[in-house]
Amino acid sequence: MKRRDALANIVSIRGLIMLLPKMSKAKEMIFKNSSCKKHGKPKALVIYASEYGSTEGVARAIAKVLCDDGKSVELMRVQDVMSLDGYEHVIVGSPIQYDAWMDEAKEFVDKYEKQLSLIKVDYFFTCLTLSQKSDKARKQAQQYADGLMQINTHVVPRYIGQFAGVLDYSKFSFSFRILAHVMFAVLGVKEGDYREWSAIKEWSNKIKG
Ligand SMILES: Cc1cc2nc3c(=O)[nH]c(=O)nc-3n(C[C@H](O)[C@H](O)[C@H](O)COP(=O)(O)O)c2cc1C
Domains within the chain, CATH numbers bracketed: 3-207 (3.40.50.360)
Assess whether the C-beta atom of 97 lies below 6 angstroms from ligand 1.
Answer: yes
How far apart are the C-alpha atoms of 36 and 202, rounded to whole Å?
Answer: 20
Between residues 104 and 20, the one the model is more confident about: 104
Distance 204 CA to ligand 1 centre (A): 22
125-134, 168-177, 199-208 — which is least confidently predicted? 168-177
Label residue 21 by pLDDT band (50, 70, 90).
low
Reported as a single tens digit per residue, the pLDDT across 36-73 is 988 898 899 999 999 999 999 999 999 999 999 999 99
Give residue 194's pLDDT: 98
Write 201-207 long-range contacts (CB < 8 A, 24+): 201/61, 201/65, 203/62, 203/124, 203/159, 203/161, 203/163, 204/61, 204/62, 204/64, 204/65, 204/66, 205/65, 206/159, 207/62, 207/89, 207/91, 207/122, 207/158, 207/159, 207/161
For residue 7, is pLDDT > 70? no
Report the 10 Å Cβ neighbour count for 148.
23
Alpha helix segments (H runs only) across 69-134 = 103-111, 113-116
Assess whether the C-beta atom of 53 lies below 6 angstroms from ligand 1.
Answer: yes
Average pLDDT of the chain is 90
Query: What's the whole-number mean pLDDT along residues 179-200?
Result: 93
Amino acid identity of 183? M
Radius of gyration of the chain (CA): 17
Assess whether the C-beta atom of 141 lies below 6 angstroms from ligand 1.
Answer: no
Reported as a single tens digit per residue, the pLDDT across 74-124 is 999 999 999 999 999 999 999 999 899 999 999 999 999 999 999 999 999
How far apart are the C-alpha atoms of 209 and 200, rounded to whole Å?
Answer: 15
Indicate yes or no: pTM above 0.85.
Answer: yes
State what percent of residues in the chain have pLDDT above 70.
87
Between residues 119 and 21, the one the model is more confident about: 119
Assess whether the C-beta atom of 126 lies below 6 angstroms from ligand 1.
Answer: yes
Q: 3-state class of 119 per DSSP?
A: coil
In angstroms, the Cα distances linking 61 to 73, 165, 200 are 12, 13, 7
For residue 4, is pLDDT > 70? no
**Do residues 140 and 14 lie in contact, with contact meaning Cβ atoms separated by under 8 Å?**
yes
| Probe residue for ligand 1, chosen from 127, 143, 190, 200 as the CB with the greatest number of ligand atoms within 8 Å | 127
Alpha helix segments (H runs only) across the chain = 3-10, 13-18, 54-68, 103-111, 113-116, 135-149, 174-187, 197-207
Give residue 2's pLDDT: 47
State what percent of residues in the chain have pLDDT above 90.
74
Label residue 183 by pLDDT band (50, 70, 90).
confident
Give residue 200's pLDDT: 98
**Do residues 141 and 175 lie in contact, with contact meaning Cβ atoms separated by under 8 Å?**
no
Give residue 27's pLDDT: 66
Among 52, 72, 177, 59, CA closest to 122:
59
Burial class from Cβ neighbours inside 10 Å (0-12, 13-18, 19+) for residue 163 reads buried
For residue 28, is pLDDT > 90? no
